[in-house]
Every structure is written in C-alpha cells, then in structure tokens.
C-alpha cells in the first residue's frame, strides 16, 4: 500500500473521529437544553390532549399526527431560521417577541378560565372571534389550527431556552442542536399524547379479554379502570394545560419585564420563594418553586383577563373588518 494512500486513510480516520466528537457535542448540548426546557415540554404535553376531546376515536391519531407535523414545521421551518437570524442580527428582539408570546398564552388560558366561570358570556365572546364550524371537517381543521397556534408559542419558548444555553457556541452548532432538540421534543411530546388519548381503547381491549386465569381477571380489571378513568384524566390534563399556559405566560412576562428595568415583580416573587424556603426548611426548594410559580400564574391570569375585553373590542372588530374586505375582494 502506497504512503499516499495510508496518509489519505489517516486523514479519513481523523475526520471520522472529529465528526464523532462533534456529534457527541451536539447530543450533549441537546440533552442539556432539553432538560432546561423540560417545564415547557410538560406544558405542551398537558395542553395538547384537550384538542382531541369530543372527537371520534378514529380521528384521534390522525389529528395528533397533523398537529405533530405542524409542530415540526413550526420548529424547523420557521422558528429555527428565525432564532438563528435573531441571534446573529438582532439579539435584543428576542425578549419582546417572547413577551408577546407570553401575552398570547395568558389570553388563551384566561379565556378558558372565563369560560368555566361565565360560560354564556364566554361563548358570546368567542362567537365574535371565530366562525362557527358547520361540519366535522371544518371543526377538525379549526382544532388542528388552534393546537398548532398554541404549539407555536410553546415551541418558540423551547427554542429560545435552547438558544439561550448555546450562547457560546458557533452558528453551525446552534443550528444542529436546535434541529435535534426540535425533533426529539416533538417526537416525545406527541408520542406521549398519542398514548394518553388511546389509553381508553387499550383499556377496552384489555377489558374484553376472555382468559379465565387470574392474570386475565387482573387484566380485565385494569382495562375497566383505564376506560373509566381516562375521561377524568383528560379533564385533569385540560386543567393542567390551562394552568400551564397561564403560569408559563406570566413567567415569560415577569422575566421579560425585568430585562427592561421593571424588576420589582420578579424580585418580589423571588423574595417570597426564599422566605417560604427559610420558614419551612423541609422541602424548602419545592415550596419556593411553588410560590414563585403561583405568583407567575397570578400575574398571568390578571394580564390574561385584562386582554379579553381588549381582544373583544379591538381585535375582533378588526378581524371581522379584514374578513369582510377579503370576501368582497374574492367575490369581485
């Protein structure tokens, strides 16, 4: 074997080692970023099942697949390039955009609370904001569109958290890690959501097993428990999802305001958390987090409730005017 060929093979081996090391770095960065974004990932998993509630069992998985595809498009086609462009060209714009996303989450969560407290008024409010579904296909499309819109905000928060953990990395590393985190989190979230919404079908299959053995009897009992318990679990997840939207939205706004000099809400929540941690040393860290999360949730619900009339009196008329103009242009 010639010396030149040996040298070429050495170069190839060195490149392979460098590529493997780079891949290890990407995976390590993705793991750390995913851990930091875990709270938002849980929020995303809790929010999504409510979008298939009330639909036929045969359409649950296709709808989840559509939402997952929309989520992946959000992350890879829109948010990833936008995050890289902002990081490179206008890093100071990231916080205001995140705060707008937080405002949207507060509004969405507060509107659901408003519907629980004042259902008739909430329905009339919603009627001014969106068209009434006239058939199953339109209803399904609206569900998917609403889920993808909410996912966009949560995905933006995930990508922003990931980008924040890569401030010392180069542009290529940022792009690779953002893409890997986006794919991994989408697969994890919607895989879990699919398991949640199909658990009652699995329970029905277990309940119908005819094995006379003791194991068969236990499986039938487990199946009946799944069938009877899933509606309650979905309701609980819906409540968790609503609370999560309000909490995450309030937290984004509080931390964003601190960036712009309005630091006292963030300091107040931090001091309250530290105070409860010192007062109750056992489990102090957990209690501190709970107090700060509750404070962020209170900020979120107050801001969200304040936006409802603003949306009703400003956004809804503007939306109706634009819709009317578009219909006239199309019919002309």
Query: How confident is the model over 75-126, as pLDDT tens digits?
Result: 899 989 988 888 888 877 777 877 887 888 788 888 888 888 876 555 555 5
* Long-range pairs of 50-57 with CB within 8 A, sequence gap ≥ 24: 50/234, 50/237, 50/238, 50/241, 51/143, 51/144, 51/146, 51/147, 52/143, 52/197, 53/234, 53/238, 55/140, 55/143, 57/201
| pLDDT value of position 298 | 93
- Taking residues 38-46, report their average pLDDT: 58
Quote the tokens at residue 279: 């007062």
- Taking residues 46-55, report their average pLDDT: 65
Which of 45-49, 54-58, 240-244 tops mean pLDDT? Answer: 240-244
Inter-residue contact 147 to 44 (CB < 8 Å) = no
Between residues 104 and 67, which one has the greater pLDDT? Answer: 67
Between residues 130 and 59, which one has the greater pLDDT? Answer: 59
- Taking residues 260-286, report their average pLDDT: 85
| pLDDT value of position 69 | 92
| pLDDT value of position 55 | 66
Reduce the secondary structure of the chain to three states and give it as a string: CCHHHHHHHHHHHHHHHHHHHHHHHHHHHHHHHHHHCHHHHHHHHHHHHHHCCCCCHHHHHHHHHHHHHHHHHHHHHHHHHHHHHHHHHCHHHHHHHHHHHHHHHHHHHHHHHHHHHCHHHHHHHHHCCCCCCCCHHHHHHHHHHHHHHHHHHHHHHHHHHHHHCCCCCCHHHHHHHHHHHHHHHHHHHHHHHHHHHCHHHHHHHHHCCCCCCHHHHHHHHHHHHHHHHHHHHHHHHHHHHHHHHHHHHHHHHHHHHHHCCCCHHHHHHHHHHHHHHHHCCCCHHHHHHHHHHHHHHHHHHHHHHHHHHHHHHHHHHHHHHHHHHHHHHHHC
| pLDDT value of position 36 | 46
The rounded percent of the chain whose pLDDT value lies above 70 is 74
| pLDDT value of position 303 | 93
The rounded percent of the chain whose pLDDT value lies above 90 is 5
173-228 pLDDT tens trace: 788 888 888 888 888 888 888 888 788 788 888 888 777 788 878 888 888 888 88
**Does 34 score more than 80 pLDDT?**
no
Query: What phi and psi values does residue 217 have, to the nearest 5 degrees?
Result: -65, -40
Question: What's the pTM value of the predicted model, to 2 decimals?
Answer: 0.66
| pLDDT value of position 165 | 66
Inter-residue contact 47 to 150 (CB < 8 Å) = yes
Tally the C-alpha atoms within 13 A of residue 275's C-alpha that lie toward its C-beta: 8
Give the count of beta carbons closer than 10 Å to the beta carbon of residue 210. Answer: 6
Name which of 192-196, 264-268, 292-296, 327-331 the model is least confident about: 327-331
**Does 301 score more than 90 pLDDT?**
yes
CA distances 13 to 7, 32, 65, 117, 195, Å, are 10, 29, 41, 66, 43
Question: What's the distance, Cα to Cα, between the start and end of the chain in Å?
Answer: 77
Mean of all residue pLDDT scores within the chain: 76
């Amino acid at each position: 074997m010639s010396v030149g060929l040996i040298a070429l093979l050495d170069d190839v081996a060195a490149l392979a080692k460098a590529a493997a090391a780079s891949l290890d770095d990407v995976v390590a960065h993705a793991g750390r970023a995913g851990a930091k974004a875990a709270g938002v990932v849980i929020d995303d998993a809790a929010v999504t099942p409510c979008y298939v509630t009330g639909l036929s069992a045969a359409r649950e998985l296709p709808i989840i697949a559509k939402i997952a595809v929309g989520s992946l498009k959000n992350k890879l086609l829109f948010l990833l390039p936008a995050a890289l462009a902002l990081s490179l060209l206008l890093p100071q714009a990231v916080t205001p955009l995140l705060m707008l996303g937080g405002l949207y989450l507060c509004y969405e969560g507060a509107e659901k609370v408003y519907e629980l407290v004042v259902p008739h008024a909430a329905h009339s409010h919603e009627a001014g904001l969106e068209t009434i579904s006239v058939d199953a296909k339109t209803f399904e499309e609206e569900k998917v569109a609403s889920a993808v819109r909410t996912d966009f905000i949560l995905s933006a928060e995930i990508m922003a958290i990931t980008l924040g953990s890569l401030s010392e990395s180069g542009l290529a590393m940022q792009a690779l890690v953002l893409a890997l985190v986006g794919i991994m989190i989408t697969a994890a979230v919607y895989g879990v959501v699919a398991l949640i919404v199909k658990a009652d079908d699995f329970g029905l299959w277990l309940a119908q097993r005819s094995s006379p053995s003791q194991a068969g009897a236990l499986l039938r009992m487990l199946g009946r428990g799944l069938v009877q318990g899933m509606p309650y679990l979905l309701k609980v997840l819906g409540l968790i999802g609503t609370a999560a939207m309000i909490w995450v939205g309030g937290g984004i706004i509080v931390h964003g305001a601190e960036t712009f000099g309005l630091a006292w809400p963030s300091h107040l929540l931090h001091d309250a958390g530290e105070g409860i941690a010192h007062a109750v040393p056992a489990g102090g860290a957990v209690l501190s987090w709970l107090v700060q999360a509750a404070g962020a949730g209170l900020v979120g619900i107050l801001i969200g409730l304040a936006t409802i009339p603003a949306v009703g009196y400003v956004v809804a008329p503007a939306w109706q005017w634009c819709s009317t103009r578009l219909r006239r242009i199309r019919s002309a």
